[in-house]
Chains A and B, each alone.
Chain A
Amino acid sequence: MDIKVLGPGCVNCRKMEEMTRTAVKELGIEAKVEKITDIGEIARNGILSTPGLIVNNKLKHSGKPLPTIEKIKEMIKAEA
Chain B
Amino acid sequence: MLSDLSRFVVYSLLKLTPDSRLAPALEFFIYDTIKIFLLLAVIIFAVSIVRSYFPPERTKHILSHKREFIGNILAALLGIVTPFCSCSAVPLFIGFVEAGVPLGVTFSFLISSPMVNEVAVVLLWGLFGWKIALIYMGTGLLVAIVAGMIIGKLKLEKWVEEYVYKIHSLGIAQELARQKFKERLISARWSTADILKRVWLYVLIAIGIGGFIHGYVPEDFLVRYAGPRNPFGVPVAVALGVPLYSNAAGVIPIVYALMEKGMSMGTVLAFMMAVTALSLPEMIILRKVLKIPLLAVFAGIMTITIIGVGYLFNAIL
Which residues of A are at the interface with B, using a C-beta cutoff of 8 A? 8, 10, 39-40, 42-50, 54, 57-65, 67, 71, 74-75
Contacts and interface: CB of A to CB of B under 8 A. Distances in A.
Interface in B111-155: none
A50 B194 CA distance: 16
Q: Report the contact-size class of chain B (Cβ under 8 Å from the partner).
A: 20 to 34
Interface of B: 55-57, 60, 83-85, 87-88, 90-92, 94-95, 98, 163, 167-177, 187, 190-191, 194, 288
A48 B90 contact: no
B94 to A, nearest CB: 4
A57 B173 CA distance: 7
B90 A71 contact: no
A40 B94 contact: yes
Nearest to B166: A40
A75 B175 CA distance: 9
B83 A64 contact: yes
Nearest to A39: B90
Contacts of A39: 90-91, 94, 288
Given A58-B175, A60-B176, A65-B187, A45 B170 contact: yes
A42 B83 CA distance: 18
Given A44-B170, A46-B174, A61-B176, 7 more contacts: A46-B170, A54-B172, A58-B175, A59-B175, A62-B57, A63-B56, A67-B177
Contacts of B175: 58-60
A10 to B, nearest CB: 6
A49 B174 contact: no
Contacts of B190: 65
Given A8-B87, A10-B87, A39-B288, A59 B173 contact: yes
